[in-house]
Amino acid sequence: MRIYNTLTDKVEEFIPIEEGKVTMYVCGPTVYNYVHIGNMRPVMTFDMVYNYFKYLGYEVTYASNFTDVNPKIITAAKELGLTEREVADKFIKAYLNDLESYNCSTIDYRPRVIEHIDDIYNFISKLIEKDMAYEVDGDVYFRVNKIPNYGILSNQNVDELISGARVEVDEKKESPLDFALWRKTTEGEQFDSPWGKGIPGWHTECVVMINSLFGTKIDIHGGGVDLKFPHHENEIAQSMALNNNTLANYWMHNGHINLDGEKMSKSLGNFILARDFVKLHSPNVIKIALFKTHYRLPLNLTDDLFNEAVVIDKKIYDVLRQANLKIQTDKLEIGIVKKDEKINEIMDEDFNTPNLITYLNDLVKELNSALRSNQDIVSPYDKINLINKILGLKYDLPKMSDEDIEIYNKWNEYRKNKDFENADKLRSILVEKNII
């Protein structure tokens, strides 16, 4: 298995920390409003990554957090006339609904910041003890110049960053690059701390949750490319300071989503909510459209892309349904093929889902022609199902009872004997039962 590691900008052989096991963390949403379709790309991408590791036989532990303590939530609480906890609960619930309606169910742990406030105090205290952080007037900042390789993830050096416009100027900080681990707050939800009332910084929250759940290092840390700097860079800096490691051996970033050629973002007001989008397209169609582009590349959502995905989805469903009918009436044993070299070959190269979809199309053709020529259908049928499982595609196929099979066989017999009157009667029963 080879993965493009954003940390080294190279495709690298995947070597897990513990043999046969994968630990993975993906930054989850800040729960202050409904997520948009751009937020669903990492969800579907890492769902696929999880499924592929499972296919390879790994034991995978996957955590994705809720950022439920954040200034944005304080603002939203004020606007909505709710408490911060009510805002977080409302949008956590909405997000869980989104996961369900997109058939994404691989996340094992969903830590919330609120459950880790004590861990956060301890973490920050240790950084202060090590002289890696300092307190000013109720705020605590991380001392970036203590980290020699700061900028390793986003390939920027400290001088470039300081001269660039990407960091805010704050006279409280020793250096403009220093970032807040703890921030004094005067309104909204606040927590008592050794440094006074305030809330933790976002970059600290994720590191602490990872350390609490998994220990000092994990195999894969994922998220959208927008999180590379400063969020992930600052997660790495804190982990370097405390544990002398880069927090994860492999950093994976998915590309962003363009809407009609323009970057989708909340701040641009150019976005579609995930919950609305899934009313327009089924989760299968959305995933086929998404996985036709490699996860690292920007994805342009266009009507053509979805029209194409609808066709592919229908072809898969139609052939599976037809094959499934034959499997049930002929009592064929399925699930025999558990591995397919071709799938491995494609996916071992940094999860090449566009090629996997091409292969899926080939298998659909193969299964169609096997059905027509009465050849072995189990092998292509099983392989299609292996791919569907990896991509998170779900097809509900009619299940036949013994009685249904009897009716079906009789219907075929009548047709063969050209007894159309009786055949039609049985046909309408089969149609009503959604079998044909």
Residues near Zn ion (CB under 5 A): 27, 206
* Distance of closest approach, residue 231 Cβ to Zn ion, in angstroms: 6
Smallest distance, Å, CB 28 to Zn ion? 8
Shortest Å, Cβ 245 to Zn ion = 17
Please identify, using beta-carbon distances, which residue of 223 and 380 lies nearer to Zn ion: 223
Nearer Cβ to Zn ion, position 218 or 316?
A: 218
Phi, then psi, of 318 in degrees rounded to 5: -60, -45
For Zn ion, the closer of residues 70 and 293 by Cβ is 70
Nearer to Zn ion, 99 or 206 (CB): 206
Least distance (Å) between residue 134 CB and Zn ion: 23
* In the complex, least distance from residue 206 CB atom to Zn ion, rounded to whole angstroms: 3
Q: Which is nearer to Zn ion, 42 or 198 (CB)?
A: 42
Shortest approach of Zn ion to residue 68 CB, angstroms? 13
Instruction: Give the nearer residue to Zn ion in terms of CB position, either 111 or 283.
Output: 111
Find the shortest distance in angstroms from Cβ 233 to Zn ion.
11
Torsion of CA 145, 148, 154, 155, to 10 degrees: 120
What is the three-state SS of the chain?
CEEEECCCCEEEECCCCCCCEEEEEECCCECCCCCEHHHHHHHHHHHHHHHHHHHCCCEEEEEECEECCCHHHHHHHHHHCCCHHHHHHHHHHHHHHHHHHCCCCCCCECCEHHHHHHHHHHHHHHHHHCCCEEEECCEEEECHHHCCCCCCCCCCCHHHHHHCCCCCCCCCCCCCCCCEEEEECCCCCCECCCCCCEEECHHHHHHHHHHHHHCCCEEEEEEEHHHHHHHHHHHHHHHHHHHCCCCEEEEEEECCEEECCEECECCCCECCEHHHHHHHCCHHHHHHHHHCCCCCCCEEECHHHHHHHHHHHHHHHHHHHHHHHHHHHCCCCCCCCCCCHHHHHHHCECCCHHHHHHHHHHHHHHHHHHHHCCCCCHHHHHHHHHHHHHHCCCCCCCCCCHHHHHHHHHHHHHHHCCCHHHHHHHHHHHHHCCCC
Closer to Zn ion at the Cβ: 161 or 206?
206
Q: How far is the CB of 254 from Zn ion (least distance, A)?
A: 14
| Residue 27 or 35 having the CB closest to Zn ion | 27
Give the shortest CB-119-to-Zn ion separation in angstroms: 15
Q: Under a CB-based contact definition with an 8 Å cutoff, are residues 413 and 329 in contact?
A: no
Q: Give the nearer residue to Zn ion in terms of CB position, either 27 or 301.
A: 27
For residue 82, give both structure tokens. Answer: 């709710």
